[in-house]
Chain A
Amino acid sequence: MENTSLALQYLLSGVTKGSIYAVVAIGFNLIYSATGVLNFAQGEFVMLGGMVAITLAHYAPLPVAVAGAVVIVALLGGLLEVAFFRKLRRHSVLHLIIITIGLSIVLQEAALHLWDEKVRSLPYFTGNEVSSVKILGAAISPQVLWVLGTVAVMVISLQVFLKYTLPGRAMRACSSNPDAAMLAGINIPNMRTLSFALSAALGALAGCVISPITMTHYEMGAPLAIKGFAAAILGGLGNPMGAVAGGLLVGVLEAFAVSKLPAAYNDVAAFAVLLLVLFVRPHGLFGRPGGESVREH
């Protein structure tokens, strides 16, 4: 393979992984922006989206199965918020993070016992396991284009939602100044529930669209959550575009690390870069400095 198409292939391969991380990171970012909580269970929403859709796909055509999965998982997300977080506003953020960790463990185990340990996947949305799209001598699976498309749709819809719709603006108000929002008559608990449900929906959709690439199994949530978390942090919390950029960056870093180092250390390289960025620029690449410490206690 000649050099430019080789480099391009690595890039595309990085974009493949990066799009997966990005689509998970967006959900992380949303809940963080709205509630200040980092939801470690986000990876499980992704997993559940895929699992539910695969089960539904036995009985309904693919688009219906995906839509159904998104709705079911969104309801679950909202329910979890009502059950566990409504009463707990007085808890410190650290405690809330720990509760989400507990939730992620319980959700993963529930998936294991509800389904089983086997690996499954949704069919490719277009094409099949061997189809690929050629770009200037490099190849990429059409499903990756679906993932990228989904990322774009998510980001655009989120921006529209947050800027131009009433509930979206209410959510932004809650995150930037909860007291003033309350005074303005915004029902803060409902906003939190909405943000959880929305984030779960985004996660579920992500889980469906990445399923043909990554395969879906009950344990996929935790590693995705870690990478998604890393991507959101790298890009800077509070910024959906940052989440996407962070995800793509992590993916591309890993791919180019593989080209130079033994593949066993590609994660090491990505995380080392992440740590470096954090040490030098603590609020991430596109995050706003200082916006973080206010939320600390």
Chain B
Amino acid sequence: MKTLPLILAGLCLGTLLPLSARAAAETNQPIKIGAIFAVTGPPAFLGAPEEKTARMLVDKINASGGVLGRKLELIVKDSGGSPEKAVSFAKQLIEEDKVLAIIGPSTSGETLQIKKLCEENQMILVSCAAADAIVNPLAKYVFKTPQKDSQAATWIYRTMKEQGISKIAILTGNDGFGASGKKQLEELAKTEGIDIVADEVYDKQATDLTDVLTKVKATPGVQAVVNWSIVPAQSIVAKNMKQLGMNIPLFQSHGFGNRKYAEQAGVAAEGILFPAGRLLVVEELPDSNPQKALLAAYKKDYEAAYKEDVSTFGGHAYDAILIVTEAIKKAGSTDRAQVRDAIENLHGLVGTAGIYNFSATDHTGLDLDAFEMLTVKNGKFTLYKK
């Protein structure tokens, strides 16, 4: 009988010791953050800079002591833009790696496929994709960092109104980004007083778009063209328009957010108008601009580390990591529910895309001010002045 209390004591110690050891160890354990990016594959122009930015920022944060005294551990999964891989990796990050939050994915299609999964498992998801459907209808644990497509469309339309344009043609790529843009452009046209007289969707892999532009040219009364797509179509449209002798203004989407795209369109890029984050014209910003310091630092660090032009897409990942780390600091803990609440209470957070103000009803955090209208002059991006 004496052995029984001994056994019981042993059992208690045996269970409590590892538990306490784990509790002690946890304060020194790194904070795990998962990321799903399309580093390769068709959306690689998004995922590659996002991945590079994420790693760069995490290294920087760790170098200055980490968050709450703990280092960050970034687990990146390359989905290649494939939704079923995104689903598989999301499950891995949730169930196996048990990360605190997931950054990404890079595309709206992938995000929408894992939205329900993350919400059901109460996993914080800070997506780098732009579709409105990601945050509308609202899911408690799902946020996104890029500006809204509707805001980009609004900027385009308001600039058009200032120029006296009312009849337009819209061309969109047949991917998720193009589809989202088409939807926003069509929905906002009435309220902004714009009449869409030609509306075409083209294959994003198209090698030449003179046929679609011929159709637009043949439509009477077209005063401007909006192209909502990604590379290489953005440059092809610009060139083809000039080749066909179409001298009406060309508006692009915020997908034009890399200086290389202007270079590729060469002379044809002159005068293109598009809404974008201020990252691309940071030198022109007045010093009093609240974003200037952050943007200048990001640009300098990125271009030094990777020897390539910075783009607004990488900025989405920057903002996502910033949001998560600031929320952890604000909550003072790594409990997911508390961090989630903290995100919703972030106000005035300066990011690359704009200044974030989240709330229980707004999981995007950015308003129209996040954009500026830019144009191309002498092959460079510059602020568009009315």
Interface 9-mer from B22-30, B201-209, B369-377: B201-209
> Which residues in B have their C-beta under 8 angstroms from that of A128?
266-267
Q: Quote the shortest CB–CB distance from A104 to chain B (angstroms).
A: 16
B296 contacts chain A at the CB level, 8 A cutoff: no
B207:A20 contact, CB within 8 angstroms: yes
- A contact residues, range: 35 or more
In the complex where A13-B214, A17-B207, A215-B231 touch, is A141 in contact with B264 (Cβ < 8 A)?
no
> Which residues in B have their C-beta under 8 angstroms from that of A258?
200, 211-212, 214-215
A139:B239 contact, CB within 8 angstroms: no
B242:A129 contact, CB within 8 angstroms: yes
Partner of A213, one of B45, B48, B202, B208: B208
> Which residues in B have their C-beta under 8 angstroms from that of A262?
200-201
| Chain B 236-253 interface residues, beta-carbon cutoff 8 Å to A | 236, 238-239, 242-245
B48:A117 contact, CB within 8 angstroms: yes
Number of interface residues of B (CB under 8 A): 37
In the complex where A117-B45, A264-B202 touch, is A215 in contact with B235 (Cβ < 8 A)?
yes
A140:B243 contact, CB within 8 angstroms: yes
In the complex where A130-B243, A263-B201 touch, is A17 in contact with B267 (Cβ < 8 A)?
no
A16:B265 contact, CB within 8 angstroms: no
Would you call the interface of chain B mostly helix, strand, loop, or mixed? helix
Q: Quote the shortest CB–CB distance from B113 to chain A (angstroms).
A: 22
> Which residues in A have their C-beta under 8 angstroms from that of B238?
129
In angstroms, Cα B208 to Cα A258, docked, is 12
Q: Quote the shortest CB–CB distance from A5 to chain B (angstroms).
A: 10
In angstroms, Cα B214 to Cα A10, docked, is 7
In angstroms, Cα B202 to Cα A259, docked, is 13
| Chain B 213-233 interface residues, beta-carbon cutoff 8 Å to A | 214-215, 217-218, 231-232
> Which residues in A have their C-beta under 8 angstroms from that of B212?
258, 263
Q: Quote the shortest CB–CB distance from B209 to chain A (angstroms).
A: 9
B211:A17 contact, CB within 8 angstroms: yes
A255:B211 contact, CB within 8 angstroms: yes
B201:A264 contact, CB within 8 angstroms: yes
Q: Quote the shortest CB–CB distance from A41 to chain B (angstroms).
A: 18
B242:A215 contact, CB within 8 angstroms: no
A254 contacts chain B at the CB level, 8 A cutoff: yes
B268 contacts chain A at the CB level, 8 A cutoff: yes
In angstroms, Cα B50 to Cα A49, docked, is 29
A1:B45 contact, CB within 8 angstroms: no
A119 contacts chain B at the CB level, 8 A cutoff: yes
> Which residues in B have their C-beta under 8 angstroms from that of A139?
243-245
A130:B40 contact, CB within 8 angstroms: no
> Which residues in B have their C-beta under 8 angstroms from that of A20?
207-208
A292 contacts chain B at the CB level, 8 A cutoff: no
Interface centre among B205, B236, B238, by most chain A C-beta atoms within 10 angstroms, is B205
> Which residues in A have their C-beta under 8 angstroms from that of B268?
129-130
Partner of B211, one of A1, A119, A214, A254: A254
Partner of B40, one of A14, A117, A220, A254: A117
> Which residues in A have their C-beta under 8 angstroms from that of B189?
none
In angstroms, Cα B203 to Cα A223, docked, is 11
B264:A119 contact, CB within 8 angstroms: yes
Q: Quote the shortest CB–CB distance from A213 to chain B (angstroms).
A: 6
Closest to B42 in A: A219
B281 contacts chain A at the CB level, 8 A cutoff: no
In angstroms, Cα B208 to Cα A215, docked, is 10
In the complex where A213-B207, A264-B201 touch, is A9 in contact with B235 (Cβ < 8 A)?
no
| Chain A 197-249 interface residues, beta-carbon cutoff 8 Å to B | 210, 213-215, 217, 219-220, 223-224
A129:B265 contact, CB within 8 angstroms: yes
B346 contacts chain A at the CB level, 8 A cutoff: no
A–B Cβ pairs within 8 angstroms, 22 of them:
A12-B210, A16-B210, A17-B211, A20-B207, A118-B308, A119-B231, A119-B235, A119-B264, A129-B239, A129-B242, A129-B266, A130-B239, A130-B266, A141-B243, A213-B236, A214-B208, A214-B232, A215-B264, A220-B207, A258-B200, A258-B215, A264-B202
Residues of chain B having any CB pair with chain A under 8 Å:
40, 42, 44-45, 48, 174, 200-203, 205, 207-208, 210-212, 214-215, 217-218, 231-232, 235-236, 238-239, 242-245, 260, 264-268, 308
